Amino acid sequence: MSAQGNQVTLRTLDQMKQEQTKIAMVTAYDYPSAKLAEAGGADLLLVGDSLGMVVLGYDSTVRVTLDEMLHHTKAVVRGATRPLVVTDLPFLTAHLSREEALKAAGRLLQEGGAQAVKVEGCNGVLENIRACVEAGIPVMGHIGLTPQSVHQLGGYRIQGKDADSARRLMEEAKRLEEAGIFALVLECVPEEVAERITGGLTIPTIGIGAGRACDGQVLVYHDLLQYGSDLKPRFVKAYARTGEEAVRGISRYVQEVREGMFPGEEHTFHLHASVVDRLYGGKGRERP
């Protein structure tokens, strides 16, 4: 089965896993990126809190607020109709009280228009994940390298490199599945660990820097297009050089403005001759 052409639902993702059809997920942060990602055939759009770094210029995702996530989610939803739109619960939100976490997740669906939320981590958030699922809010999990915990992890490092940490990730994956998540992001973990986790779950796994065995993959929009992003992690592949082309276009524009070549006659509006005569008292006006 292919999700191409059909509206993607949770059932679609389950079928894709069963039929071993790879799932393609792309981050999107605004109306045009959502439209382009949908036109390119993406199955899921993630309004990731990575927007803090690639759109807002923060040094990490920790500073991103719920209001910022809502703002960008609304724009993405306006630009996409077929993909399933998932939005990150920002830093700390999933660790708040049950009521506060539910309210935040509910706002992303009710006000933002997302169809699901993504929650980073396992310990400390399981009960709130269960509460969201029970309330009818679909939840995607995320383990391995969890950027919201980057300070605690000591930087952006591969997770699950030794037997103990690998087993812990596998245990977390099962606990999250039991809590009711519909899919699980595995970030920066060895391929062998991702393969074991993927094979042991009935829900799809989405990898980013987790090798080839996952049921799907996700990349950041700005990374895969090399659009204003200086980050070049080993697991990223650039499929276009949008940033370089944008710089060339802007440079040509600046040059033509400086040389008086833009705007040209074809880009200029004029008054009708009769209006010019009235405006200048019948004396006319010599046009450039």
Annotated binding site: 49-50, 88, 118, 120
Among residues 187, 244, 256, 266, the one annotated as catalytic is: 187
Copy the structure tokens of residue 129: 């994940």
Type of residue found at 75 = A
Please give the helix or strand (H or E) that residue 47 lies within, else none.
strand 44-47
**What is the C-alpha separation between 192 and 161, in angstroms, rounded?**
10
Report yes or no: 187 and 146 within 8 Å, Cβ to Cβ: yes
Q: Residues annotated as binding site for Mg(2+)? A: 49, 88, 120
187 as an active site residue: the answer is yes
Copy the structure tokens of residue 13: 């993702």
Report yes or no: 146 and 122 within 8 Å, Cβ to Cβ: no
Report yes or no: 45 and 34 within 8 Å, Cβ to Cβ: yes
Q: Residues annotated as binding site for 3-methyl-2-oxobutanoate? A: 49-50, 88, 118
Hey, which residues does 118 pair with through a beta bridge?
88, 140
The catalytic residue positions are: 187
